[in-house]
Amino acid sequence: MPTLLRKDGFRFFFYSNESEEPVHVQKGDAEGKIWLMPKTEVCYMNNFNQTEIRQISLIIFEYAEQFKTQWNGYFNQ
């Protein structure tokens, strides 16, 4: 589970056995999954409150291209 980013208490990561560039986010016992391709789309957000979901959305928007680059770099080694 390579970590892409730690910010504001959130950990953004991916599972190396998943395709289609999903990003997972975790904070405490809360977890979510966001697809980056073909468009950015939330798959699920479990146990996050609305404020946290807004924070996550802003972080995803800000770092989406970086996440894609990191994802591609990991699989194209």
Residue range 26-68, pLDDT digits in tens = 999 999 999 988 888 999 999 999 999 999 999 999 999 898 8
Please determine, for residue 74, whether its predicted confidence score (pLDDT) is greater than 70.
Answer: no
How does DSSP assign 2-64, residue by residue? Answer: -EEEEETTEEEE--TT--S-EEEEEETTEEEEEE-SSS-EEEEEES--HHHHHHHHHHHHHHH
- The Cβ of residue 12 has, within 10 Å, a number of other Cβ atoms equal to 22
